[in-house]
Structure 1
Amino acid sequence: MINVKNLYHSYNKDDKYALKDVSFEVKEGEVFGCLGPSGAGKSTIMGILTGLLQLQQGEVSVVGYNVKKIKSKMFNDIGVSFEQSNVYSKMTAKENLDFYGKLFDVETADSKALLEMVGLGDKADVKAGEFSKGMKHRLTFIRSMINHPKMWFLDEPTTGLDPAIAADIKDIIKEQQRKGVTVFLTTHNMYIADELCDRVAFIVDGEIRLIDSPKNLKLKYGEKLVDVEYRADGETFKEKLSTTEKKDKQRLVEIVENHEIVTMHTKEATLEEIFIKVTGKGLSHDEAVS
């Protein structure tokens, strides 16, 4: 669905590249995550893929279309939801969706049904200018679904949402994937990526450092540990032991055979821990504002 080869981009059209030799592909029906901190190049990639930024150097195709020579038909097949909401503040929520739907040459979704999907059903006739930041984000999200896209671009889809609404958004994304929709997702939230993505790309300073599935990354880079809590001589103790180191394995057997186990949990590295280990860069998180 997406094929990118040797992509470079410079906002000043000089040798200061926001993207450097970026190459990847997104297979039909998968959720592909582009992960990195703010300023890493995620939004630049998305801008080029969706036609908002002109392709300068490299080869890029999206749903079979060469983005160097974008045809209007391509936009019937893609949906785009950006982190920064850009709704019409003087229009109601329903008017926003209905107006946007008229821009497409394909059958569009029912606007009321979309609003109900994200808990905005009772806000259909309220002007978007009266919405909170989180409500505008939800409106932007469902607007990207109105043309039943085959290729769905989501920029930080759960940013600014409270946990319950974020869970609903994740469920919608999973359901769309089950229906065969391909998803390109950008985020700095590694927990969201771990839950949703079939494969992820780590991007730092405009370069992709690696691409793999979250599972494979954990197997390759994550330590295999177990947290064990046990009682001895009337006191409770805790130890963190490796499940691969011979000495630690022997110690675990000794604890199990000679003491009362209170709790025991295996622990795997998070995607964020692996990201930091591989790239040397940290990630920040936004607070929910619903």
Structure 2
Amino acid sequence: MNLYDNLKYFARILNVPSENIDLLLKRIGLYEHRKKMAGKLSKGQRQRLILARAVLHRPKVLFLDEPTNGLDPSASNEIHKLLMELKNEGMAIFLTTHNMEEAAKLCDNVALLNDGVIVEYGSPQAICLKHNQIKKYRVRLTDGTTHLLLQNEKTTGQIAQWMNSGQLETIHSCEPTLETVFLDTTGRNLQ
């Protein structure tokens, strides 16, 4: 079946008006492909079609397993935008992913699992800050040099001096990423 007929079939099963199909195809960026055979879609287009079928009936709760697995950054970004829109409209989304960057970007709360046991739970930012044991700052100056500094009074004075003299180009805190926390709390690599 083509994309439109595929969604029309599911609309009948879910008792959803088929008038919603064109709007949904436009929203997920597949409207111009609506007459294309579903089997001829790229992997990213197939993922968006699967997501369209999942949200066609506007569920209050949506469960997704690795929705961007194997997709290029552009296709992943399109799915991320759609998921954020759905979340902002009030849909509760449960997402399983091994992609910690994706989890940090999309999730209000995450549960890190190790052998089926929750080893950490909370907002991605709160989890990362909780595991920020050694506070450091990466500073780049206008002369191109980069400095990694531990948080202390000397560092505070040095950063203030660079700021006052106009030498400070960038400053970044060095808290761990969600991936680093996962690896530290589980003691193993992502799979």
Range into which the TM-score falls when normalised by the shorter chain: 0.7 to 0.9
Measured in 2, the distance between the counterparts of 1:252 and 1:229 equals 15
Which of 226, 230, 241 is the aligned partner of 2:149?
241
Q: 1:125 deviation in Å?
A: 1.2
Higher relative strand content? 1
Quickly say closer, same or farther: Cα 1:135–1:254, change in 2 above 3 A: closer
Q: Which residue of 1 aligns with 2:139?
A: 228
Quickly say closer, same or farther: Cα 1:228–1:134, change in 2 above 3 A: same
Q: Which residue of 1 aligns with 2:37?
A: 127
Output the amino acid matched with 2:149: L
TM value normalised by structure 1: 0.58
Q: 1:160 deviation in Å?
A: 3.0
Measured in 2, the distance between the counterparts of 1:205 and 1:176 equals 30
Q: Does the aligned pair in 1 maintain the 2:8–2:18 contact within 8 Å?
A: no
Deviations for 1:185-210, whole angstroms, at most 9, x for unmatched residues?
A: 11111111111111101112222212
Quickly say closer, same or farther: Cα 1:107–1:210, change in 2 above 3 A: farther
Output the amino acid matched with 2:136: L
Measured in 1, the distance between the counterparts of 2:167 and 2:112 equals 39
Deviations for 1:60-102, whole angstroms, at most 9, x for unmatched residues?
A: xxxxxxxxxxxxxxxxxxxxxxxxxxxxxxx111111111122
Q: Does the aligned pair in 1 maintain the 2:16–2:56 contact within 8 Å?
A: no
Deviations for 1:166-188, whole angstroms, at most 9, x for unmatched residues?
A: 22222221221222111101111
Q: Which residue of 2 aligns with 1:95?
A: 5
Which of 11, 35, 60 is the aligned partner of 1:150?
60
TM value normalised by structure 2: 0.85
Measured in 2, the distance between the counterparts of 1:224 and 1:263 equals 20
Measured in 2, the distance between the counterparts of 1:167 and 1:252 equals 38
Output the amino acid matched with 1:141: L
Q: 1:105 deviation in Å?
A: 4.2
Q: Does the aligned pair in 1 maintain the 2:28–2:82 contact within 8 Å?
A: no
Output the amino acid matched with 1:226: Y
Quickly say closer, same or farther: Cα 1:265–1:160, change in 2 above 3 A: same
- Corresponding position: 1:265 with 2:168: no
Measured in 2, the distance between the counterparts of 1:228 and 1:279 equals 31
Runs of 4+ in structure 1 deviating by more than 4 angstroms, as ranges, are 105-109
Q: 1:161 deviation in Å?
A: 2.9
Aligned residues: 187
Quickly say closer, same or farther: Cα 1:255–1:210, change in 2 above 3 A: closer
Q: Which structure exhibits the higher relative contact order, with contacts defined as CA atoms closer than 8 Å and separated by 6 or more residues?
A: 1
- Which secondary structure does the structure 2 equivalent of 1:185 belong to? strand
Which of 174, 177, 181 is the aligned partner of 2:84?
174
Q: Which residue of 2 aligns with 1:31?
A: none
Q: Which residue of 1 aligns with 2:187?
A: 280
Which piece of structure 1 moves more, 249-258 or 118-127? 249-258
Measured in 1, the distance between the counterparts of 2:86 and 2:64 equals 12
Output the amino acid matched with 1:224: K
Measured in 2, the distance between the counterparts of 1:103 and 1:152 equals 18
Quickly say closer, same or farther: Cα 1:108–1:242, change in 2 above 3 A: farther
Measured in 2, the distance between the counterparts of 1:236 and 1:178 equals 41
Q: Does the aligned pair in 2 maintain the 1:227–1:239 contact within 8 Å?
A: yes
The percent of aligned pairs where both chains have the same amino acid is: 34
Q: Does the aligned pair in 2 maintain the 1:228–1:239 contact within 8 Å?
A: yes
Q: 1:238 deviation in Å?
A: 2.3
Q: CA RMSD in A?
A: 2.3
Q: Which residue of 1 aligns with 2:158?
A: 254
Q: 1:283 deviation in Å?
A: 2.4
- Corresponding position: 1:219 with 2:129: yes
- Corresponding position: 1:191 with 2:101: yes
Which consecutive unaligned segments of at least 5 residues does structure 1 have? Answer: 1-90, 285-290
Measured in 2, the distance between the counterparts of 1:255 and 1:115 equals 51
Output the amino acid matched with 1:253: G
Measured in 1, the distance between the counterparts of 2:43 and 2:140 equals 44
